[in-house]
Amino acid sequence: MTIQVCISVPPKTVEEAFCLIEEAEAQHADLIEVRLDSLKNYARIAEIPSRSKTPLIATNKSLEHHGRFSRSEDERQKILVQAARNGFEYVDVDLFIPNIRELIDDLREAGAKPIVSFHDFDMTFELSRLSLVLEEEIALGAEVCKIVTTARSVEDNLTTLNFVSEASKKAKTVCFAMGELGKPSRLLSPVFGAFFTFASLDEKRKTAKGQLTIQEMRQAYELLGLR
C-alpha cells in the first residue's frame, strides 16, 4: 500500500507559486496541484515547473466548475495546453466540457498526463452511477480518473471507499467525498487504493470544502500506523 498526498496550492502570482511549491516540498508532498485559476496574470506560467522537483498538476477551474477562471472556455483550455508544453506532468480536465477528446489529445502530444475529473457538489450517488462515470473517463483516455462527490451523510464515505477499492483495479483513480462529513474518505481513500488524495498547506489556503491540512493528514496516518 502506497499513500500519496497531493498538496493543492492557490497562488495569486507566479512569485507566490514559487514560494508555495517550496513550502509544499518542505512538507514532502508527493504531488503538487497548482490552481492556475487563482492567478491574476497568466503570462509567466511557463516558469513554474522549473521551480519544482515534485510532479505538478495544472488545474484551471472555470466559475461553472466552482473555480475562479472567468474568461472564455477556449482561453481556459489554451492555458492548460500551455502548462502541458512547459513541463506540468499532469493536467486536470473536467469531464463534461466542449472538445474534451481534442484537448486530451493535445495534452498528451504536449507530454502531459491527463487527469479527467468529475465533481458532484450536491451529493454522492450509488455505485452503479459512479462506475458509469469511471468507464467514460477511461474511454476518453484518462491517465488518472478523478471522481469527487459531496457527503450528505457519514455513510457516503463508505460508498466512495468501496468504489475506489474496486475502481483502482481498473485504472489509477482518485475518489472521495467533499464537505465536512467527507473527511474520512479524504483521509482513507489511498488506504483503499486511490492513486492519491488532496491536502492543503494550512487552514488559510484550503482549495475545497472539507480539505484537511497536510499536517493533520500526516498525524492521522501516524496514529493509524499507516505512515
Helices (H), 86-126: 100-109
Contact (Cβ atoms closer than 8 angstroms) between residue 131 and residue 168:
no
Residue 124 dihedral angles phi and psi, to the nearest 5°: -120, 120
Q: Label the pairing between strands 90-94 and 197-200.
A: unpaired
**Which set of grid coordinates corresponds to residue 53?**
522537483
Would residue 119 show up in a list of annotated catalytic residues for this protein?
yes
Choose, from 61, 65, 146, 183, the residue flagged as catalytic.
146
Sheet holding 31-35, edge to edge: 173-178, 144-150, 113-119, 90-94, 56-59, 31-35, 5-9, 197-200
Amino acid type, 188: L
* Known catalytic residue at 28: no
Closest CA to 121 of 9, 210, 6, 10: 210
Catalytic residue among 119, 172, 206, 209: 119
- Rounded Cα distance between 117 and 104, Å, is 12
Give catalytic residue positions: 119, 146
